Amino acid sequence: MSVLVGKKAPHFEATAVINGEEMDEKFSLKQYIGNKYVLLFFYPKDFTFVCPTELHAFQSRIEDFRERGVELVAVSTDTEQSHWGWLQLDKDHGGIKGITYPLVADTNKTIAHNYDVLTGDYFYDEEGMLQADGELVAYRGLFLIDKEGVVRHQVVNDLPLGRNVDEAMRMVDALQFFEEKGEVCPANWEKGKSGMNASHEGVAEYLAAN
């Protein structure tokens, strides 16, 4: 598994469904560079079970993210038509109607591959035929990208394990606290708590006080 933290987020251009219904055939993250943070997260499949719980959980906090200058972007290996169809289905029927952030269609699986969250392996057999070992969908990868387009945090969950939106928010707050104050965030730091100076004296003072 590649570690992208500290590196430029891989560029992509793909079709996305915006605001639950509009198709943007040339969606990319470039529109946010220099202006917004991005929380880019992958999910395995449309019309599944854990995935809608995550999508709705992120949607429920979208204004909190936007107050912090963060845009949400979701990606799966489904088609844009599949995204659109799922967006028309009500929540009480397992759908994701009401999701307004972009859903990117990674139909050729290159985005998931470049972020190294694609499950399974593909190879050519002795007859030159393309084969796949396991289903090629995305793990539950999440990437916090700063305004310069650099990945500052990543986490990847296996398919059965849903993510914690509060933890994603905490990481946004921690990054912005560091950028503003120049202080680092110790274990279990939360917004409103003090940070510490990145020095032996700073650590000693923090540990003594806590």
Query: How crowded is the C-beta side of 60, counted as CA atoms within 13 Å?
Result: 10
Q: Given the residues 17, 51, 111, 168, select the one marked as catalytic.
A: 51
Q: Distance from first CA to last CA of the chain, Å, rounded?
A: 35
Distance, CA of 90 to CA of 31 (rounded, Å):
30
Distance, CA of 76 to CA of 74 (rounded, Å):
7
H-state helical runs in the chain: 50-60, 62-67, 80-87, 110-114, 165-181, 200-209
Question: Is-catalytic flag, 51?
Answer: yes
| DSSP codes, 83-126 | HHHHHTS-GGGT--TT--S-EEE-TTSHHHHHTT-B-SEEEE-T
Q: Any idea of the CA torsion for 23, 26, 28, 32, to the nearest 10 degrees?
A: -80
Active site residues: 51
